[in-house]
Every structure is written in C-alpha cells, then in structure tokens.
Amino acid sequence: MRRREQVSRIRRRGTQLRVENLEGRVLLSHGGPEWPHPERITVSFVPDGTEWTMNGTTEQSVLQQAISSQYDWATWKKEFLRGLYAWAQYANINFALVSDDGSAIGSAGSTSDHNVQGDVDFGDIRIGMWTLPWSSTVAGAYLPPPNVTTTEAGDITLNESYKNSSYFYPSFVKTVAAHEAGHALGLGHISGSVIMNPTLTTYEFRQVDIDAIQEIYGPRQHDSFDQGGRGNSMSTPINVTNRLDSQYRYTFNGVDITTPTDRDWYKIRIPSGAGDELLVRMHTHKLSMLAPRLVLYDANGNQIKAVNGEYGKTITLRKKVRPGQVYYVKATGRGTDEFSVGAYALMVRISNAPLLPVQVPNTATPAGNTSGTPQSALAAELYETTEVARLDVAGTTGEHEREQQEEVVARDAVLASDDAAALAYLTSDIDSLLEDSDAEENANAVDPLGGDLLADALAELSL
C-alpha cells in the first residue's frame, strides 16, 4: 500500500534557512535486490535522441546536448561517474563503461540478445536526460534485478527541466549520481545516511551506507594472489617468469586493486631466448573504471619509469632488456580518489608474438530470467526518484503547498495507472540553496575512453 507523499519545503525566516526532512518511508533496506553479476556492471551514456516512454508519452534524451552547452562534456561525465563509481570502494562490485547503440529504453536492443545484464547493445545501467512528468523530480533510477527483469533495470533518468540548475553543476552532479546509483544497486533511503538520505545536500558516505551496500554485495575482496600473501610488496612479488609460455608471454586475469593503498608487485627475470623488449600492459578497459598506474624498477629497487592512465584507460609500459636482467613491476591505482580501485588484467610479453587475450567476465543474464525472485514487499518498487525542495517565504505556504499536494495526487494517479502499474517512487529533497561553483572544471580535460581501442591497436602495430 503506497503512502501519500508530503513534499517538504525550505522556509525562509529572515536570513535563517532550514531544510525540513520528509517523513520516514524507507521501503528498500539492507539486503535489497541485486545484480546477478556484480563483478562487472556495465554503464553507458545514451546518445541524444534515445527514446524513453513513460505513461504513454515518448521523450528523446538530450543529455549531451544539454550538458555540452554549459560545461565541458568529458569533465561533467567524469564527475557523474565519480559519484556512481564511489560505491565500488566499499563493495565487491565493478563498474565498466561501455558504448550504447541508442536503442529505446527498456527495449531488446538492436541485436538478438535480450539481457537484463550483459546486453551487447548498451550498459546494464543506462544514463540519459528526458523531461519527466513530475516537475519536482530531479532524477530517478530503476532498481536492479530481480525487481526489474527488463533492460530498464538500473537505468538512471535526469530531468531535462533542471538542466540549467545547480543540481547538474560538475561540482554537485556526483552527489546526484551517487544517490541514484545507490538505488540502481538496490538501496533505498537509509536512516542516518547523508548520500542516501531523503534530504540530499552533500557528498558524504557514512558507515551506515557502507554497511548497507556490503549487506547486499559483501565487502570488496582481494584477488587470489593477495589472499595468498603474494604480490603485496617487493619482497613477496608475483613471479611472472615461470608463467611465460613458449612465446614469452602471459596475461594475469582477475587481478584487482582492492583499496586505494593496495599495491600489486610482479617480478620478471628475462629468460634466455626471449626478445629484446619487455612490454607490460595494465588493461582496465571494459573491466572497471580504475585509473591505472604502472611503475618499473630495476633489480635494486630503483625506479626506471612510470606510466599513468585516466579512469578506464589501458596503459602500456615498454623497456629494452637483455637475458638475465631482473625487473619489478608495481601495479596500482592512480591517486587515492574514487577511481583508485578496480579490476584489471596484466599482460606481459617479451617477444613479437600477439598478446594473450584479456578475459572479460560473461555476465549475460536473459531478461525476465534473473538469479532470484522479487521480494513480495518490494515487487512494485521499481523506480526511485530524487526530488527538489521548494523555496518559500515564511507565511506564504498556501499556494506552493497546494501546488505540491496537487502534484502528489496527480503523480499517485499516474503511478496507479495501467501503463505505470509497476512504478513506485520514493522522494528525497535536495537543498536548492547550493553555493554556485565554477561552471566549468578542467576545461581542457579529454574523454579518457576516447580513442582507447585505437591507441591499443596502434601500439600493437608499432611493435
């Protein structure tokens, strides 16, 4: 049974401003719905023109056009993904950025597969901007399987009506993204939380958030080498030499930078008969959004060279070598921010042979066939929204209150309609008194995934 929402207001009394919390109505809780394959949850930004139909009305996404008219697109996208990827620091999940073919939201896509997760046409979580039918809603997200068993699962909607507002400043959009990503991962509003609180004002993760996400997915796990006590330092490195095949190459799949301070050490003794160039590649593309860093050391622990990459970027290190020489390679995350953790593969070659392939986890899960069944109490709670609070002058409550009450009644009617019977919502206020920030940050930033595959191909051709 759905509870009638009473949207709160921010009141002005002279210069004193305050936020009134919404009444408690946490429908989702710890142990909520979850992705069948959290080891690789893909994310895509839908191209402009992608259609989404709600309650019989079809809208076209305008995300890139709307954002690019005000900010540097690559910078804005990075900040949005920063908020979304922040959850990977605390839980046993990875997000990977993939392309999107522009198929309509909720559709089967343009190819024969039709997967609630692992669809080849677009990300498991698709992000776009459409005009929502509710004027006070800033953003919304579908819940993950098994509550949603179509390709809409996890999709995040930004309201075009707020495209010029402070909610989508690069400095604040990561807060909106983190909140909606929490819903897309299966969380509801959490008492005592800031990022998952009905009143969303700051970017802050508390222990209650960490406990909630770990109850669903568990804490982030070290890879098998770390768990076996190998690779944690230069004194306990992972031996590469004894794994090389007849063409002097090996690929470590399933390795992970688990914490911002995690360091994976590898030792290589150049075999007799090998080539004269050592190539080491740290591959994160389509595995995670880890921003990678490789450092090469000589046998005495002296640093020779280092290579850094942006989030989701694959990087390559090369060194001319001779048989018998010993080198150490340290693989880490670049920096200590949200992109400092994630899955990767380490590719090694001391010859002219092709690199051994990277194994990308197979997460294909057919739509309507997830690993569990919807929890009865949550089966209808498929869509979550984040609402904006209104600014009112003290004593003039009537008009705005009536407007908001009328909107709630109208929206309840929409949610009860046949076309949207599966939709429900939880609202949360965002403090609309955000201080202005610079409209653009790092205007010269380059899209870190742009040309990544081309760069990899060119690197191969140059060998």
| Average pLDDT of the residues of the chain | 78
Looking at residue 189, which CATH number applies to its domain? 3.40.390.10
Domain match, 305 and 185 both: no
Q: What is the pLDDT of residue 30?
A: 42
Domain match, 180 and 234 both: no
Domain match, 32 and 65 both: yes
Domain match, 213 and 232 both: no
Q: What is the pLDDT of residue 386?
A: 57
- Do the domain assignments include residue 150? yes
Mean pLDDT of 38-67: 95
* 253 and 358 Cβ atoms separated by less than 8 Å: yes
- Do the domain assignments include residue 459? no
Task: Look at residue 241 and tell me whether its pLDDT is greater than 50.
Answer: yes
Task: Look at residue 432 and tell me whether its pLDDT is greater than 80.
Answer: no
Q: What is the pLDDT of residue 384?
A: 60
Query: What is the pTM for the complete model shown?
Result: 0.77
175-207 per-position pLDDT tens digit: 999 999 999 999 988 889 999 987 667 899 999
- Do the domain assignments include residue 320? yes
Domain match, 391 and 325 both: no
Q: What is the pLDDT of residue 219?
A: 97
Domain match, 96 and 120 both: yes
Domain of 423?
Answer: 9-219+377-430
- Do the domain assignments include residue 214? yes
Lowest mean pLDDT among 55-59, 177-181, 261-265: 55-59
Domain match, 89 and 192 both: yes
Q: State the pLDDT confidence band at 370, using cuts at 50, 70 and 90.
A: low
Q: State the pLDDT confidence band at 385, using cuts at 50, 70 and 90.
A: low
4-14 per-position pLDDT tens digit: 222 222 222 23
Domain match, 202 and 239 both: no
Domain match, 214 and 229 both: no
Looking at residue 252, which CATH number applies to its domain? 2.60.120.380
> Among residues of the chain, what percentage have pLDDT more than 90?
63
Domain match, 95 and 126 both: yes
> Among residues of the chain, what percentage have pLDDT more than 70?
72
Domain match, 99 and 212 both: yes
Task: Please give the tally of structural domains in the chain.
Answer: 2
